[in-house]
Protein backbone atom coordinates (compact mmCIF):
# COMPACT_ATOMS: atom_id res chain seq x y z
CA UNK A 1 0.00 0.00 0.00
CA UNK A 2 1.10 3.54 -0.76
CA UNK A 3 2.86 5.50 1.96
CA UNK A 4 0.19 8.18 1.46
CA UNK A 5 -2.60 5.89 2.66
CA UNK A 6 -3.88 5.83 6.21
CA UNK A 7 -4.46 2.51 7.95
CA UNK A 8 -8.03 1.27 8.21
CA UNK A 9 -9.30 1.86 11.74
CA UNK A 10 -12.68 0.58 12.88
CA UNK A 11 -13.93 1.00 16.43
CA UNK A 12 -10.46 2.05 17.55
CA UNK A 13 -8.74 -1.03 16.13
CA UNK A 14 -6.33 -0.88 13.20
CA UNK A 15 -6.66 -3.46 10.45
CA UNK A 16 -3.93 -4.39 7.98
CA UNK A 17 -6.13 -5.24 5.00
CA UNK A 18 -9.06 -3.46 3.39
CA UNK A 19 -10.39 -6.78 2.15
CA UNK A 20 -12.56 -8.79 4.53
CA UNK A 21 -13.72 -12.26 3.61
CA UNK A 22 -16.42 -14.70 4.60
CA UNK A 23 -15.95 -18.36 5.45
CA UNK A 24 -19.20 -19.76 4.04
CA UNK A 25 -20.06 -21.83 0.99
CA UNK A 26 -16.61 -23.29 0.28
CA UNK A 27 -16.60 -26.75 -1.26
CA UNK A 28 -14.24 -27.94 1.47
CA UNK A 29 -12.34 -26.53 4.42
CA UNK A 30 -8.92 -26.93 2.87
CA UNK A 31 -9.95 -24.70 -0.05
CA UNK A 32 -11.38 -22.16 2.41
CA UNK A 33 -8.17 -21.98 4.41
CA UNK A 34 -6.01 -21.65 1.30
CA UNK A 35 -8.29 -19.02 -0.26
CA UNK A 36 -8.40 -16.90 2.88
CA UNK A 37 -4.62 -17.09 3.08
CA UNK A 38 -4.31 -16.04 -0.58
CA UNK A 39 -6.66 -13.09 -0.05
CA UNK A 40 -4.36 -11.73 2.67
CA UNK A 41 -7.46 -10.58 4.54
CA UNK A 42 -7.26 -10.10 8.28
CA UNK A 43 -10.98 -9.92 9.10
CA UNK A 44 -12.92 -13.13 8.47
CA UNK A 45 -16.61 -13.45 9.13
CA UNK A 46 -18.29 -16.37 10.86
CA UNK A 47 -21.88 -17.27 11.70
CA UNK A 48 -23.41 -18.48 14.97
CA UNK A 49 -25.26 -21.78 14.68
CA UNK A 50 -26.25 -24.78 16.77
CA UNK A 51 -23.59 -27.38 17.46
CA UNK A 52 -24.42 -30.59 15.61
CA UNK A 53 -24.93 -33.05 18.44
CA UNK A 54 -24.98 -36.07 16.14
CA UNK A 55 -21.53 -35.21 14.78
CA UNK A 56 -22.72 -36.06 11.30
CA UNK A 57 -21.57 -32.66 10.09
CA UNK A 58 -18.20 -30.99 10.46
CA UNK A 59 -16.79 -29.28 13.53
CA UNK A 60 -16.98 -25.52 13.96
CA UNK A 61 -15.04 -23.26 11.63
CA UNK A 62 -12.45 -22.56 14.33
CA UNK A 63 -11.30 -26.13 13.98
CA UNK A 64 -9.83 -25.00 10.65
CA UNK A 65 -9.01 -21.31 11.18
CA UNK A 66 -6.62 -20.13 13.85
CA UNK A 67 -8.31 -17.32 15.82
CA UNK A 68 -4.86 -15.93 16.64
CA UNK A 69 -4.10 -15.44 12.96
CA UNK A 70 -7.38 -13.81 11.91
CA UNK A 71 -9.78 -11.28 13.38
CA UNK A 72 -13.08 -13.11 13.74
CA UNK A 73 -16.09 -11.00 12.89
CA UNK A 74 -19.29 -12.77 13.88
CA UNK A 75 -22.43 -11.98 11.92
CA UNK A 76 -26.13 -12.18 12.67
CA UNK A 77 -26.92 -13.66 9.25
CA UNK A 78 -30.26 -15.37 9.03
CA UNK A 79 -31.91 -13.09 11.60
CA UNK A 80 -35.19 -11.49 10.54
CA UNK A 81 -35.98 -9.48 13.67
CA UNK A 82 -34.03 -7.09 15.89
CA UNK A 83 -34.69 -9.43 18.82
CA UNK A 84 -33.09 -12.40 17.05
CA UNK A 85 -30.13 -10.37 15.86
CA UNK A 86 -29.49 -9.12 19.41
CA UNK A 87 -29.70 -12.69 20.72
CA UNK A 88 -27.18 -13.95 18.15
CA UNK A 89 -24.86 -11.01 18.78
CA UNK A 90 -24.80 -11.72 22.52
CA UNK A 91 -24.05 -15.39 21.88
CA UNK A 92 -21.24 -14.42 19.51
CA UNK A 93 -19.65 -12.09 22.04
CA UNK A 94 -19.84 -14.79 24.67
CA UNK A 95 -17.60 -16.95 22.51
CA UNK A 96 -14.96 -14.59 23.79
CA UNK A 97 -13.07 -13.22 20.82
CA UNK A 98 -14.08 -9.57 20.50
CA UNK A 99 -16.94 -7.11 20.83
CA UNK A 100 -17.39 -6.53 17.10
CA UNK A 101 -20.53 -7.73 15.38
CA UNK A 102 -21.55 -7.62 11.74
CA UNK A 103 -25.18 -6.80 12.26
CA UNK A 104 -27.66 -8.11 9.72
CA UNK A 105 -31.41 -7.87 10.10
CA UNK A 106 -32.90 -9.29 6.94
CA UNK A 107 -36.28 -8.12 5.72
CA UNK A 108 -36.97 -10.19 2.63
CA UNK A 109 -36.15 -13.81 1.84
CA UNK A 110 -35.84 -13.47 -1.90
CA UNK A 111 -33.50 -10.48 -2.04
CA UNK A 112 -32.01 -10.70 1.49
CA UNK A 113 -32.35 -6.93 1.60
CA UNK A 114 -32.11 -5.46 5.10
CA UNK A 115 -35.02 -4.46 7.31
CA UNK A 116 -33.72 -1.00 8.16
CA UNK A 117 -36.19 -0.36 11.00
CA UNK A 118 -35.14 -3.60 12.70
CA UNK A 119 -31.52 -2.86 11.93
CA UNK A 120 -31.65 0.54 13.63
CA UNK A 121 -33.43 -0.89 16.65
CA UNK A 122 -30.88 -3.69 17.05
CA UNK A 123 -27.97 -1.30 16.45
CA UNK A 124 -29.10 1.05 19.22
CA UNK A 125 -29.47 -1.80 21.71
CA UNK A 126 -26.15 -3.41 20.85
CA UNK A 127 -24.22 -0.13 20.91
CA UNK A 128 -25.67 0.53 24.38
CA UNK A 129 -24.39 -2.90 25.43
CA UNK A 130 -20.87 -2.01 24.32
CA UNK A 131 -20.79 -3.77 20.98
CA UNK A 132 -18.85 -2.34 18.05
CA UNK A 133 -21.55 -2.63 15.45
CA UNK A 134 -20.76 -2.94 11.76
CA UNK A 135 -24.14 -2.59 10.14
CA UNK A 136 -25.03 -4.33 6.88
CA UNK A 137 -27.45 -1.97 5.17
CA UNK A 138 -28.74 -1.00 1.77
CA UNK A 139 -27.22 1.84 -0.22
CA UNK A 140 -29.49 4.46 1.34
CA UNK A 141 -27.89 7.63 2.64
CA UNK A 142 -30.53 8.45 5.25
CA UNK A 143 -30.32 4.99 6.80
CA UNK A 144 -26.52 5.24 6.81
CA UNK A 145 -26.72 8.57 8.63
CA UNK A 146 -29.15 7.13 11.19
CA UNK A 147 -26.88 4.12 11.76
CA UNK A 148 -23.95 6.42 12.33
CA UNK A 149 -26.04 8.51 14.71
CA UNK A 150 -26.95 5.29 16.56
CA UNK A 151 -23.24 4.78 17.24
CA UNK A 152 -22.30 2.14 14.66
CA UNK A 153 -18.56 1.63 14.21
CA UNK A 154 -18.86 1.03 10.46
CA UNK A 155 -21.54 1.38 7.81
CA UNK A 156 -21.74 -1.53 5.37
CA UNK A 157 -23.83 -0.70 2.32
CA UNK A 158 -24.34 -3.46 -0.21
CA UNK A 159 -22.97 -3.31 -3.75
CA UNK A 160 -25.86 -5.55 -4.81
CA UNK A 161 -27.82 -8.35 -3.08
CA UNK A 162 -25.94 -10.99 -1.05
CA UNK A 163 -24.55 -13.77 -3.22
CA UNK A 164 -25.79 -12.16 -6.45
CA UNK A 165 -22.41 -11.28 -7.95
CA UNK A 166 -24.03 -8.36 -9.77
CA UNK A 167 -21.28 -5.94 -8.79
CA UNK A 168 -21.63 -2.30 -7.75
CA UNK A 169 -25.07 -1.37 -9.03
CA UNK A 170 -25.16 2.18 -7.74
CA UNK A 171 -21.75 3.85 -7.43
CA UNK A 172 -23.37 7.24 -6.88
CA UNK A 173 -25.21 6.28 -3.68
CA UNK A 174 -22.22 4.45 -2.26
CA UNK A 175 -20.04 7.48 -3.01
CA UNK A 176 -22.60 9.74 -1.39
CA UNK A 177 -22.66 7.61 1.76
CA UNK A 178 -18.86 7.68 1.91
CA UNK A 179 -18.85 11.46 1.51
CA UNK A 180 -21.46 12.08 4.20
CA UNK A 181 -20.62 9.49 6.85
CA UNK A 182 -17.56 9.92 9.04
CA UNK A 183 -17.31 6.31 10.24
CA UNK A 184 -15.61 3.81 7.89
CA UNK A 185 -17.72 2.57 4.97
CA UNK A 186 -17.17 -1.08 4.09
CA UNK A 187 -19.10 -2.30 1.06
CA UNK A 188 -20.59 -5.68 1.94
CA UNK A 189 -22.08 -8.12 -0.54
CA UNK A 190 -22.65 -8.25 -4.27
CA UNK A 191 -19.14 -8.16 -5.68
CA UNK A 192 -18.78 -10.82 -8.40
CA UNK A 193 -15.27 -10.55 -9.76
CA UNK A 194 -12.05 -8.56 -9.39
CA UNK A 195 -13.15 -5.63 -11.58
CA UNK A 196 -16.21 -5.17 -9.32
CA UNK A 197 -13.94 -4.97 -6.29
CA UNK A 198 -11.64 -2.52 -8.02
CA UNK A 199 -14.49 -0.23 -9.17
CA UNK A 200 -15.98 -0.35 -5.68
CA UNK A 201 -12.71 0.68 -4.04
CA UNK A 202 -12.29 3.46 -6.64
CA UNK A 203 -15.38 5.11 -5.14
CA UNK A 204 -13.26 5.88 -2.09
CA UNK A 205 -14.85 3.45 0.35
CA UNK A 206 -12.69 2.11 3.15
CA UNK A 207 -12.95 -1.59 2.38
CA UNK A 208 -14.96 -4.48 1.00
CA UNK A 209 -16.36 -7.62 2.59
CA UNK A 210 -17.07 -10.52 0.27
CA UNK A 211 -17.73 -14.24 0.50
CA UNK A 212 -19.45 -15.83 -2.50
CA UNK A 213 -17.31 -14.10 -5.14
CA UNK A 214 -14.34 -16.07 -3.82
CA UNK A 215 -16.02 -19.23 -2.52
CA UNK A 216 -18.09 -19.81 -5.66
CA UNK A 217 -15.31 -19.04 -8.17
CA UNK A 218 -14.12 -22.01 -10.19
CA UNK A 219 -10.72 -21.58 -8.54
CA UNK A 220 -11.34 -19.85 -5.18
CA UNK A 221 -7.65 -19.61 -4.24
CA UNK A 222 -6.73 -17.76 -7.44
CA UNK A 223 -9.83 -15.55 -7.18
CA UNK A 224 -8.90 -14.70 -3.60
CA UNK A 225 -5.50 -13.52 -4.81
CA UNK A 226 -7.18 -11.51 -7.59
CA UNK A 227 -9.51 -9.88 -5.06
CA UNK A 228 -6.62 -8.90 -2.81
CA UNK A 229 -4.87 -7.29 -5.78
CA UNK A 230 -8.09 -5.62 -6.99
CA UNK A 231 -8.87 -4.07 -3.62
CA UNK A 232 -5.35 -2.70 -3.42
CA UNK A 233 -5.41 -1.46 -7.03
CA UNK A 234 -8.78 0.24 -6.54
CA UNK A 235 -7.59 1.87 -3.35
CA UNK A 236 -4.41 3.16 -5.00
CA UNK A 237 -6.35 4.45 -8.02
CA UNK A 238 -8.70 6.31 -5.69
CA UNK A 239 -5.79 7.84 -3.80
CA UNK A 240 -4.00 8.70 -7.05
CA UNK A 241 -7.06 10.55 -8.40
CA UNK A 242 -8.21 9.62 -11.86
CA UNK A 243 -7.87 11.86 -14.94
CA UNK A 244 -10.95 13.82 -16.01
CA UNK A 245 -13.32 12.17 -18.48
CA UNK A 246 -13.54 13.86 -21.90
CA UNK A 247 -15.97 13.38 -24.73
CA UNK A 248 -13.27 14.07 -27.32
CA UNK A 249 -9.84 12.57 -27.96
CA UNK A 250 -6.68 14.37 -26.90
CA UNK A 251 -3.53 13.08 -28.61
CA UNK A 252 -0.83 11.63 -26.40
CA UNK A 253 1.93 12.18 -28.95
CA UNK A 254 3.14 15.62 -30.13
CA UNK A 255 1.16 17.17 -33.01
CA UNK A 256 4.24 19.18 -34.07
CA UNK A 257 7.23 17.68 -35.84
CA UNK A 258 5.13 15.74 -38.31
CA UNK A 259 6.61 15.14 -41.79
CA UNK A 260 5.40 17.11 -44.85
Partner 1 sequence: MTDPITIVVNGEERRLSAELSLSDLLARLELDPQAVVVELNKEIVRRPALAETTVRDGDRIELVHFVGGG
- The residues of the shown chain that bind partner 1, judged by CB under 8 A, are 22-26, 32, 45-51, 53, 60-62, 72, 74-75, 77, 87, 90-92, 94-95, 162-163, 189, 209-212
Least distance in Å: CB of 170 to partner 1? 21
Three-state DSSP at 148 gives: helix
What DSSP element (H or E) covers 136?
Answer: strand 132-137
Name the residue nearer to partner 1 (CB basis): 89 or 150. Answer: 89
| C-alpha neighbours within 13 Å on the C-beta side of residue 190 | 27
Three-state DSSP at 23 gives: coil
Name the residue nearer to partner 1 (CB basis): 150 or 224. Answer: 224
Instruction: Give the whole-angstrom CA distance, residue 130 versus residue 167.
Output: 33
What DSSP element (H or E) covers 235?
Answer: helix 220-240
How far does Cα 73 stand from its chain's mean position?
11
DSSP 8-state code for residue 61? G
- Return the active site residues: 102
In this structure, which long-range contacts are made by residues 142-145, counting pairs with CB atoms below 8 Å and at least 24 apart in sequence?
143/116, 143/119, 144/177, 144/180, 144/181, 144/185, 145/180, 145/181
Query: Contact 122/105 with Cβ under 8 angstroms?
Result: yes
CA distances in angstroms from 256 to 186, 251, 260, listed in the order given:
48, 11, 11
Least distance in Å: CB of 14 to partner 1? 23
Least distance in Å: CB of 99 to partner 1? 15
Name the residue nearer to partner 1 (CB basis): 150 or 231. Answer: 231
Name the residue nearer to partner 1 (CB basis): 51 or 250. Answer: 51
Q: What angle do CA 192, 48, 105 make, to 5 degrees?
A: 65
Name the residue nearer to partner 1 (CB basis): 24 or 107. Answer: 24
Least distance in Å: CB of 124 to partner 1? 20
Least distance in Å: CB of 74 to partner 1? 7
Query: Contact 170/139 with Cβ under 8 angstroms?
Result: yes
Name the residue nearer to partner 1 (CB basis): 15 or 136. Answer: 136
Least distance in Å: CB of 211 to partner 1? 3
Amino acid sequence: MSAADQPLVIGGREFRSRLMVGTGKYRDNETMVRAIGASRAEVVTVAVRRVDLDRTKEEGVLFHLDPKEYFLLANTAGCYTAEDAIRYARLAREAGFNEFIKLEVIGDEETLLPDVAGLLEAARTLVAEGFKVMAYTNEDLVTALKLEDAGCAAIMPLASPIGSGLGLINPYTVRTIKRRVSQPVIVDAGVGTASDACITMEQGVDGILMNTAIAAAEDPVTMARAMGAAVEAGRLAYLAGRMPRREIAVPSSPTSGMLD
